[in-house]
Amino acid sequence: MRRKKQVIIPNLTIEGVAAEGKCITRYEDKVIFVDGKLVAPQDVVDLKVTRKRKNYIEAIPVQFHEYSPLRIEPFCSHFGTCGGCKWQHLPYEQQLQFKQQQIIDNLERIGKLDLPEVKPILGSAHTQYYRNKLEFTFSNRRWMTKEEIATEEKIQDPNALGFHIPKRFDKILDIDHCYLQPDPSNKIRLTLKKYAVDNELTFFDQKNNEGFLRNVVIRNANSGDLMVIMIFFYDDQNLIVPLLEHLHSEVPEITSLQYIINPKQNDAYQDLPVKLFAGEPHITETMPSLDEGKPTLKFRVGAKSFYQTNASQAYELYKVAGEMADLKGNEVVYDLYTGTGTIANFIAHKAKKVIGLEYVPMAIENAKVNSEINSINNTSFFAGDIQHLLDEEFVELHGHPNVIITDPPRSGMHADVVDMLKKASPDKIVYVSCNPATQARDLAMLADEYDIIAVQPVDMFPHTHHVENVVLLERKVLATS
């Protein structure tokens, strides 16, 4: 077979940032997308075409003629190879500008929406060590650098404990130091790898589905609590007990040490039992109340619980949602996609009643516990597919909502849920979104009955393209003849 001829397009200036963190430029009548970690706006580059479609081209840089004046030196040695923190080569202030524009572009271009002035994005107070949860993967197929491959020497240590290489399920980048989670996260990871190598424990082989060590999940809380969940391929207490005892002795800060046996052919563990080895089965996050006169809220986080991974910025996000709702104390509030009831409990003291809906039953049980430990007694939580759970019978039974807060997953709301929002006809809708593209689609479906009053972007994940956005909608006042 003949090789396809490589197509090189010379001397193109990267124009800006598009959706999903890709950079764009143009050639003739086509848009060209380039991975945002490989280039920066205002770079002048030669691009090699990797995919050509009717309306766009995908390409990678092969030569730089000028580097962008926006560029800064990345702080992590793994930048460019690791799949996270793709914007480390851009100043944080510049990242915020791109995210702000991404919000506006999505709402105006996808939603065709009339917007008020979009408020300046709320940046994160911490741009390093801001995550409270990370998952690392053990692998016997370490990602090797071009230099290592070129030597043709036998690799002394093929094992890795780190992150998946983008688009490679079977290759793991061994991490020396990660800037995402505060210590002792790095110490835990390095302690585990050294023990495993010293004791000849087998690292997992993703291709052949064999090996002892699979994953480790590290969760910390602003209360000082620290959880570690080890995930093994099979149950061998002669291997498990000494490893966990060693880890607990080396890192005594761990307050919850648990493990899971996962014999499946995938890494998902939500359906598997968790076994407590030492400490408590949960950690506790704290969050200031929406009302400064009220006690600090506590949220219990288990091994499988969802909690916003940037806890300090989550408070800013929920505060925006609460302020947009502007509750006076006599409202019935529906909190859709409530998760573990974080928003519901955060605003409960400002409302007459808050009703949380969520499709994960375990999350609903956690939400009820979170109300109980905070002595909140005006919340109710219901589990089920919101598309089917939220119907006219539900509204009749639990009361007409004055305000609906919705915080759906990246896929946005099902069209049936949007339709039910219209039927429920609350005075206000506060839409919290982690995906402005699907948010724009949903807002367009509501535009005939609701006006957009306020738009507030919030950055939860520095050095990535991800951005949250909160929109306040108010029901239109229909003219009467």
- Residues belonging to the active site: 434
A 10 A CB-CB count for 292 gives 6
Distance of CA 40 to the CA centre of its chain: 23
> Residue 189 half-sphere exposure, CB side, CA atoms within 13 Å?
24
- Coil, strand or helix at 353: strand
H or E element at residue 478: none
Residue 329 amino acid letter: G
Longest dimension (CA), the chain: 85
| Residue 368: Cβ-neighbour burial (10 angstroms; 0-12, 13-18, 19+) | middle
- Coil, strand or helix at 401: coil
Q: Measure CA of the first residue to CA of the last residue in the chain; give whole Å.
A: 74
Strand partners, 470: 432, 456
What separation in angstroms does the CA of 335 have from each of 261, 321, 355, 407, 415? 34, 11, 6, 8, 17
The CA distance from 209 to 263, in Å, is: 9
Tokens of 147: 């230099």
5-9: long-range pairs with CB below 8 Å, 24+: 6/48, 6/49, 7/48, 7/49, 7/52, 8/46, 8/47, 8/48, 8/49, 8/62, 9/46, 9/47, 9/48, 9/49, 9/59
> Using the 8-state DSSP alphabet, how is residue 366 labeled?
H
| Residue 198: Cβ-neighbour burial (10 angstroms; 0-12, 13-18, 19+) | exposed
User: Rounded to 5 degrees, what are φ and ψ at 447?
Assistant: -65, -25
Residue identified by tokens 């061994």 is 174
The CA distance from 215 to 168, in Å, is: 16
Peptide bond just before 184 cis, omega within 30 deg = yes
The CA distance from 341 to 323, in Å, is: 18
Q: Does residue 429 contact residue 362 with C-beta atoms inside 8 Å?
A: no
